[in-house]
Amino acid sequence: MRKTLYFLPLLLFFALAVASDAPGVPVALVTGTEGTPVLVKPGDQSESNLEQGATLEEGDIISLNSDSKATIYFMDGEIVTLMPKQKLVLGSSSANSRVDDSDGQSFSIQAGQNTISRKNVNLTAKNDIDKELSSPASFRAEGVIPIAPAGLIITDTPEFTWFDSAATDKAPAEKDYVLIVMDAKNRELFRGTVKGMTNTLVKYTIPGMKFTQGDSKQRFKWDVYPLGKEPKLGANYDLAGVMIVADKKITNDVSAALSEIYSNEKIDEQSKLFLAGLVLKDFKCYSDAITTLNKLGSDSTVSDNVNRQKAWLYARLGANGSFMVKKYAALLN
């Protein structure tokens, strides 16, 4: 038996919440902040706290006090680290922007001083969210929703994620589950009992199990059940979760792009994780991108911009991902 949930009332929320993300053409992106840097808009000179994930337009001004820092990724690939008491005035590109020091000196950003080859990272945080909010999230009557991994992945040790909503009126409680993984020929590769919590997003990596990349993509199915509800060995059954392990070429391409970011000693750790998440998003490795962005901190501590990115990524995981989109809509409301 399967239930169907519709999230139509949330459509208007995301239309309003995300529409303000980039009213103009984005010139740059805030990838990391420290302290309390301030964003000044050129029109009305309004000031607001600069947050990770914010998009910047021509004319915007970033002002830093004595204990603030900020890392800015320009869409042309240039990366600028702003130090305390500096000010950045954005032009139409990095070459047309300038940095003002506290002593009154100004200088232009030199091309190639700190550049990554990845240009125009995908900043979308709206497309497909509305569609998934209006889509049904289907799950078994016992309420366990397999969420990720789904779609293309490059990691060989994926993080299996599910949510047990069988008793939403009760406090989270520990529970035993059975995780099953099969290959494309319906051969069981793993069946094991794992601990989890109800009313909680459970994350589990199978110890000692790796999904090695080959010359072509590989399809796997997986699912999780409350202990005692799992299908019996030898029975004819299907699993709800589908993940595609990337081939060696795709994996090498993604790994090269990520390596360029992680090996850059001029970029702070926050920026590395945020940029890596966007690169994985560009390569359509949505589950891996979510796992990477989760390393920035809990949903309650990261900026709304980061949570909107994760909502978009969950929306790309299909019907079961819309369950998480609904949760983020409630968080961002």
Give domain status of residue 271, yes or no. no
Query: Using one digit for the tens of pLDDT, what is the confidence trace for 82-101?
Result: 999 999 999 999 999 999 99
- Residue 121 is encoded by which pair of tokens? 């990272």
Indicate if 203 and 78 belong to the same structural domain. Answer: no
Q: Which structural domain, as residue segments, surrounds residue 203?
A: 1-21+123-246+285-333
- The residue from 59, 79, 108 where one domain ends is 108
Give domain status of residue 263, yes or no. no
- 47-56, 63-72, 116-125, 301-310: range with lowest mean pLDDT: 116-125
Give domain status of residue 223, yes or no. yes
pLDDT at 273 over 90: yes
Predicted local distance difference test score (pLDDT) of residue 205: 97
Indicate if 15 and 34 belong to the same structural domain. Answer: no
* CATH, residue 237: 2.60.40.10
Indicate if 141 and 232 belong to the same structural domain. Answer: yes
- 19-28, 155-164, 190-199, 258-267: range with lowest mean pLDDT: 19-28
CB of 239 closer than 8 Å to CB of 219: no
Indicate if 168 and 97 belong to the same structural domain. Answer: no
- Between 22 and 225, the more confident residue is 225
Helix axes 269-282, 248-262, angle to 10 degrees: 160
Mean pLDDT of the chain: 86
Indicate if 73 and 213 belong to the same structural domain. Answer: no
Indicate if 213 and 318 belong to the same structural domain. Answer: yes
Separation of alpha carbons 308 and 303, rounded Å: 9
Indicate if 198 and 101 belong to the same structural domain. Answer: no
User: How many domains does the chain contain in total?
Assistant: 2
Looking at residues 8-30, what average pLDDT do you find?
A: 54
Predicted local distance difference test score (pLDDT) of residue 147: 93
Separation of alpha carbons 279 and 273, rounded Å: 10
Q: Predicted confidence band at 13 (pLDDT cuts at 50, 70, 90)? A: very low
pLDDT at 6 over 50: no
How large a percentage of the chain has pLDDT more than 90? 65
Listed residue (310, 313, 333, 314) closest to 322, CA to CA: 314
Predicted local distance difference test score (pLDDT) of residue 142: 64
Give domain status of residue 58, yes or no. yes
- The residue from 50, 83, 108 where one domain ends is 108
- The residue from 42, 74, 108 where one domain ends is 108
Separation of alpha carbons 266 and 258, rounded Å: 15
- Residue 1 is encoded by which pair of tokens? 């038996």
pLDDT at 125 over 70: no
Indicate if 158 and 304 belong to the same structural domain. Answer: yes
Give domain status of residue 253, yes or no. no
Query: Using one digit for the tens of pLDDT, what is the confidence trace for 191-235?
Result: 999 999 998 899 999 999 999 999 999 999 999 999 999 999 888
Predicted local distance difference test score (pLDDT) of residue 169: 73
pLDDT at 5 over 60: no
Indicate if 51 and 5 belong to the same structural domain. Answer: no
Give domain status of residue 270, yes or no. no
Indicate if 84 and 14 belong to the same structural domain. Answer: no
pLDDT at 7 over 90: no
pLDDT at 4 over 60: no
What are the helix (H) ranges across the chain?
11-19, 129-133, 248-262, 269-282, 286-294, 304-315, 321-332
Indicate if 7 and 140 belong to the same structural domain. Answer: yes
Looking at residues 265-290, what average pLDDT do you find?
A: 95
Indicate if 166 and 227 belong to the same structural domain. Answer: yes
The residues with which 153 forms a beta bridge, in sequence order, are 245
Looking at residues 176-197, what average pLDDT do you find?
A: 95
Three-point CA angle 134, 278, 69, nearest 5°: 120
Give domain status of residue 195, yes or no. yes
The residues with which 218 forms a beta bridge, in sequence order, are 245
Predicted local distance difference test score (pLDDT) of residue 11: 34
